[in-house]
Amino acid sequence: VQIVSGGNGCCRAELVVAPEHQNGYGTLHGGLTATLVDTLSTVALITRTAGVPGVTVDLHVSYMKAAAEGETVVINCSTLKTGKTLAFLSVEITKKETGELIAVGSHTKFIGQ
C-alpha cells in the first residue's frame, strides 16, 4: 500500500493487487479489503485528531466488484465527523483505470478518554 496523500481528515492510497492479496478466485481478498478500510480510515482520522487513533466500535464493508491481479485500486478515506467520543469515517475503493467502485466502507471509532 502506498499512501498518495493525506491531511485534514482525509487519506488517499493505492494498492497494486499482487498474488499475496488474492483469494481462492484470484481476486482481491475481502479480508484485505476490510483491513484497508480499517487501517487507512484510521490514517485519515489521525490527521484530524493529533495522532489519536481511537478504537473501532463498528466496521462495515459492502463489496461491489472484484479486482484482479495487476489492477491498481485507489482507496479514498474521509473523516465525516469527530465528536467528543466518536468519529465517523467513510471509505471508497475504486479501480484506478476505470473508476469502477469495488467496495465502500463505514468505520466508527471511539476517540474519548
Average pLDDT, integer, range 40-48: 97
Count of residues for the chain? 113
pLDDT band at 113 (very low <50, low <70, confident <90, very high): confident
- 77: nearest Cα among 24, 36, 27, 21: 36
Q: Above 90 in pLDDT, residue 77?
A: yes
Average pLDDT, integer, range 33-48: 97
Record the pTM. 0.95
Please answer whether residues 45 and 54 qualify as being in contact, where contact means their C-beta atoms are separated by less than 8 angstroms.
yes
Residue 39 DSSP one-character state: H
pLDDT band at 95 (very low <50, low <70, confident <90, very high): very high
CATH architecture of 2-110: Roll (3.10)
Please answer whether residues 48 and 109 qualify as being in contact, where contact means their C-beta atoms are separated by less than 8 angstroms.
no
Q: Above 90 in pLDDT, residue 83?
A: yes
Cell reading at 21? 492479496
Q: Is 27 helix (H, G, I), strand (E, B) or coil?
A: strand
Q: Above 90 in pLDDT, residue 96?
A: yes
Output b/e per residue, 37-49; b: 16+ Cβ within 10 A.
bbbbbbbbbbbbb
Q: How far apart are CA 16 and CA 73, in angstroms?
A: 6
Q: Above 90 in pLDDT, residue 52?
A: no
